């Protein structure tokens, strides 16, 4: 019989106030029931926030290096359990085991980076314009942080939000995607084992439109970090703007890989296979558009179709599998609908375009050619293994196509021309640009995020993540013994 899991609220594993649960199943084998998880509501969120406020009072007074020491212990435990965590994630959301091992590694890297930042929460000391006066700033914690996280990186995304938030002295309420609740539970167990004070972390499972909404709307949660769809992000933004909350949004992408006629085509082929079909296309950074120079278009498409058609589809825990399932049936139906739209708009299916005859939410890697930059499949996020191929004639045209979407997360250019490489870094309208590498592959110690409808200007992880989860306080010390007036006494 499948296990029934609980929320972690107030330092205890507790049943939801609703007494209701949802099922979590393996997308590669929907008969495989992982467990039943709490279908929580605002009552559970209210209890979690009240507990997190108590946790904040203690944790915010803990020295930052000591906070970092606990996160280092978290990193050590993640190292010990890397294989078990990867297996659990693949069973839960489908991507191949090599990728979920990478997911754990990203959490490990983020933990160790955060631990070192416990001794590097730098402020500034600057000269005062007045005599016998010091002027300085330092970083201080904010309060309770609400995290709403997606399914595609069950460990990496919660940790790259959570670890900087904790290091900065905040307490955390985590509402993970209902598609990956088991990984979130395993993470909280590790945090507690590492010595994190129990009320500093709260875990509330449930649906986004109920538990997630209650967390975003709670008046005692001054900081929200959300990763998900642009549509939902807009609603979160409206709420946080009205309530004057600090908000980080990480939303959709429609990322393009540009291949010039002088590119190393074998290298570009490896890049697009990984960028388009890694994680079954379920990444905000996935290569969704392939822009090919007209001189190499036909040749490259033939090579790509042959290679993509040989990708092995199956359970991500099987050693030969290269492409796992989509996360659930609704996702596969969405992919099917977009392929139909592409064909209706005039695109041609080169390979794929169908689901294999096997249990699970699988869909074959699909390549569409004859796509115009105006087509919906070239403009809208599909979040599946569908690649739209667009032909171009000049670098300037490729830049216009890349920039002509509402998103601005990632882009890449394959070329041997160093001048075009540096033009791409400057002219491609994205938060991240790669040269001679695919649109996926961000590293844990650099800021991550996009522009336009991909985000709201903040960056996650890297050094900028610590700025988001802390506030700057400016301090003046006047030891002159007299009243001094800045901008007045010094400039009369």
Which token pair is 10? 């107030």
* CA–CA distance, 362 with 173 (Å, rounded to integer): 33
Edge to edge, the sheet with strand 246-250 lists 12-14, 7-9, 201-203, 171-175, 144-148, 223-227, 246-250
* pLDDT bracket for residue 262 (50, 70, 90): very high
231 and 370 in a single domain? The answer is no
Cα–Cα distance list, 130 to 123, 137, 396, 473 (Å): 20, 17, 53, 20
Residue 108 parent element (H or E): helix 97-117
396 and 269 in a single domain? The answer is yes
Paired with 12 in beta bridges are 9
Cα–Cα distance list, 62 to 76, 201, 242, 353 (Å): 21, 15, 32, 55
261 and 246 in a single domain? The answer is no
CATH code for the domain of 139: 3.40.605.10
75 and 196 in a single domain? The answer is yes
Q: Is 99 a catalytic residue?
A: no
Residue 413 in any domain: the answer is yes
* CA–CA distance, 465 with 460 (Å, rounded to integer): 5
* pLDDT bracket for residue 492 (50, 70, 90): low
Cα–Cα distance list, 22 to 36, 39, 181 (Å): 5, 6, 10
**C-alpha torsion sign, points 139, 145, 148, 152:** positive
Domain that holds residue 323: 255-435
Q: Mean pLDDT over residues 286-301, rounded?
A: 98
DSSP letter for each residue of 274-334: HHHHGGGG-STT-EEEEEEETTTHHHHHHHHHHHHHTPPBS-TTSTT-SB---SSHHHHHH
Residue 446 in any domain: the answer is no
Residue 443 in any domain: the answer is no
Residue 450 in any domain: the answer is no
90 and 212 in a single domain? The answer is yes
Residue 490 in any domain: the answer is no
pLDDT at 333 > cutoff 80: yes
DSSP letter for each residue of 185-227: HHHHHHHHHTT--GGGEEE----IIIIIHHHHH-TT--EEEEE
110 and 240 in a single domain? The answer is yes
Q: Tally the C-alpha atoms within 13 A of residue 479's C-alpha that lie toward its C-beta.
A: 4
Q: Give pLDDT, residue 174.
A: 98
Mean pLDDT of the residues in the chain: 97
Which of 59-65's residues contact partners 24+ apart within 8 Å by CB, and which partners?
59/141, 59/166, 59/169, 59/170, 59/171, 59/197, 59/200, 60/141, 60/169, 60/170, 62/169, 64/117, 64/118, 64/119, 64/121, 64/167, 64/168, 64/169, 65/118, 65/119
CATH code for the domain of 270: 3.40.309.10
283 and 209 in a single domain? The answer is no
Q: Which of 95, 207, 206, 224 is nearest to 156 (CA)?
A: 95
73 and 18 in a single domain? The answer is yes
Domain count, the chain: 2
**Pick the catalytic residue: 250, 381, 427, 460?**
250
333 and 383 in a single domain? The answer is yes
pLDDT tens-place string over residues 365-415:
999 999 999 999 999 999 999 999 999 999 999 999 999 999 999 999 999
Euclidean distance between the first and the last CA atom of the chain, given in angstroms as a whole number: 82
Residue 73 in any domain: the answer is yes
Residue 447 in any domain: the answer is no
Which of 383, 407, 435 delimits the end of a domain? 435
114 and 228 in a single domain? The answer is yes
**Pick the catalytic residue: 168, 284, 427, 460?**
284
204 and 324 in a single domain? The answer is no
Residue 449 in any domain: the answer is no
Q: Mean pLDDT over residues 91-108, rounded?
A: 98
Q: Is 250 a catalytic residue?
A: yes
Which token pair is 94? 């489908």
pLDDT tens-place string over residues 138-158:
999 999 999 999 999 999 999
264 and 242 in a single domain? The answer is no
């Amino acid at each position: 019989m499948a296990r029934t899991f609980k929320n972690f609220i107030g330092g205890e594993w507790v049943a939801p106030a609703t007494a209701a649960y949802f099922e979590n199943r393996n997308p590669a084998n929907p008969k495989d029931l992982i467990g039943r998880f709490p279908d929580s509501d605002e009552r559970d969120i209210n209890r979690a926030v009240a507990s997190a406020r108590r946790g904040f009072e203690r944790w915010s007074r803990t020295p930052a290096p000591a906070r970092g020491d606990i996160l280092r212990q978290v990193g050590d435990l993640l190292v010990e359990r890397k294989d078990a965590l990867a297996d659990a994630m693949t069973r839960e959301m489908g991507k191949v085991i090599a990728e979920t091992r990478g997911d754990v590694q990203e959490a490990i890297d983020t933990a160790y980076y955060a631990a070192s930042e416990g001794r590097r929460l730098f402020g500034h000391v600057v000269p005062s314009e007045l005599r016998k006066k010091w002027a300085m700033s330092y970083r201080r914690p904010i309060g309770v942080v609400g995290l709403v996280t997606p399914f595609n990186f069950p460990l990496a995304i919660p940790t790259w939000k959570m670890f900087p938030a904790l290091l900065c002295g905040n307490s955390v309420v985590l509402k993970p995607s209902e598609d990956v609740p088991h990984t979130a539970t395993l993470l909280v167990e590790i945090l507690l084992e590492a010595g994190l004070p129990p009320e500093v972390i709260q875990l509330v499972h449930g649906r986004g439109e109920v538990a997630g909404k209650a967390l975003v709307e709670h008046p005692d949660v001054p900081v929200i970090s959300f990763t998900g769809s642009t549509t939902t992000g807009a609603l979160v933004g409206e709420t946080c703007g009205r309530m004057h909350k600090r908000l980080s949004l990480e939303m959709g992408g429609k990322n393009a890989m540009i291949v010039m006629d002088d590119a190393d085509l074998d290298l570009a082929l490896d890049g697009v296979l990984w960028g388009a079909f890694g994680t079954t296309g379920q990444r905000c950074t996935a290569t969704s558009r392939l822009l090919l120079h007209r001189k190499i278009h036909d040749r490259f498409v033939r090579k790509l179709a042959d290679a993509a058609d040989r990708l092995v589809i199956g359970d991500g825990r099987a050693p030969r599998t290269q492409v796992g399932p989509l996360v659930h049936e609704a996702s596969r139906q969405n992919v099917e609908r977009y392929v139909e739209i592409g064909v209706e708009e005039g695109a041609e299916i080169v390979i794929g375009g169908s689901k294999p005859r096997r249990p699970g939410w699988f869909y074959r890697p699909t390549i569409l050619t004859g796509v115009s930059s105006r087509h919906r499949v070239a403009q809208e996020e599909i979040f599946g293994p569908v690649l739209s191929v667009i032909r171009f004639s000049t670098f300037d045209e490729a830049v216009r196509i890349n920039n002509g979407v509402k998103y601005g997360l990632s882009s890449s250019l394959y070329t041997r021309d160093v001048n075009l490489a540096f033009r791409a870094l400057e002219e491609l309208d994205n938060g991240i640009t790669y040269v001679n590498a695919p649109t996926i592959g961000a590293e844990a110690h650099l800021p991550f995020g996009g522009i336009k409808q991909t985000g709201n200007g903040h960056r996650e992880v890297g050094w900028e993540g610590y700025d988001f989860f802390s506030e700057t306080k400016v301090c003046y010390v006047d030891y002159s013994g007299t009243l001094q007036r800045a901008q007045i006494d010094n400039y009369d």
